[in-house]
Each structure stands twice: as structure tokens, then as C-alpha cells.
Amino acid sequence: MTGTDDRLVIADEELTSRLIVGTGGATNLKILERAIVASGVELATVALRRVDALAQGSVLTAYMAREAFETAWIKDAGIATASDTAYAMELGCDGVLLASAVTRAQDPVRMAETVRKAVEAGRLAYRGGRIPHRLYAEASTTFEGIPQVLGPDARP
């Protein structure tokens, strides 16, 4: 994405993608597979309804262990489209976890690719150091130093 100096590290694993895709809400596993590939993710979550009931205890234990330690700030709810994803990254999230935005989209594969690019754009914007929000517009050029194009004796 932007070089090795900007890697996301989770549990001592370096990830180049800051997007994590979940499988919840997927109705077609073949389309889900294509969407995950299109998203470019290195980490995907599996909906518990897709996991054997005996394995659910292990998943819960792993989840509680993760919660016990400090982790990266991952936005994991309320993402409906690519602009939400970009905004979360601009605010400084370390990554985005989403499922429904992709799995319930009209075209899950295209949406997966779109949110991948939005994560990258949002992270670049965050690292670029956005200007503060303003209540009113403010001219970026002052009147001082503007050349007089009509000449010194001309009247506007």
C-alpha cells in the first residue's frame, strides 16, 4: 500500500491490508470467495454460524484472550459503503472490519474492491495530515501580495 513503514501489526503478524472482511450475511459462498479475493485482505473473520458448534468454545476463548490485551483500533460496526470506510480511516482507525457492506451489496465483488481502495485512500489521507474542519469557508490566499492586473492608474 504505502511501504513497509506503515504496516498494521496484530498479534505480532504484519499485515499490508488494513481491511478485514467478515463472512456474516453472505448468502452465496462462491460469490463470498470472489469478494474476499477482490478485497485483497489478509485476514477474514468467520461467522459463528459457519463454524462447527464444538469449535465455538475455542473461538470464544480466543476472542476473550484478544480482549484482555491491547489491540489496534479497528472500526467494526456501522460501515455501509466505501465512503464510511474512508472516513473511519481518515479519523485514525488502524483498520476496518466489515461484513454486511460487502456481503449484502448488490455486487459484493465490486463492493469488496471498492472498500479496499477506500481503506487505502483513507489511510493515505490520515497520514497526509488533513486540515482541521472549519465552520465557515476561509480564503486560502490573502489579499496581501496580489498583483494589480489593471495597472496602478486603472479603476476597477
Q: Give the mean model confidence (pLDDT) for residues 133-150.
A: 72
pLDDT reported for residue 154: 58
pLDDT reported for residue 33: 84
Where do the domains of the chain lie? 4-128
Are 90 and 119 in contact by the 8 Å Cβ rule? The answer is no
DSSP 25: T
Strands 19-21 and 8-10: unpaired
147: CB partners within 8 A, 6+ apart: none
pLDDT for 10-58, tens place per residue?
A: 878 888 888 888 877 777 878 888 888 888 888 887 765 544 544 445 4
Topology classification of domain 4-128? TIM Barrel (3.20.20)
pLDDT reported for residue 54: 46
To which residue does cell 465512503 refer? 83
Active site residue ranges? 75
Please say if the pLDDT value at position 106 is more than 90: yes
For residue 99, which amino acid is it?
A: A
pLDDT for 80-93, tens place per residue?
A: 889 888 888 888 88
**Cell output for 66:** 484478544
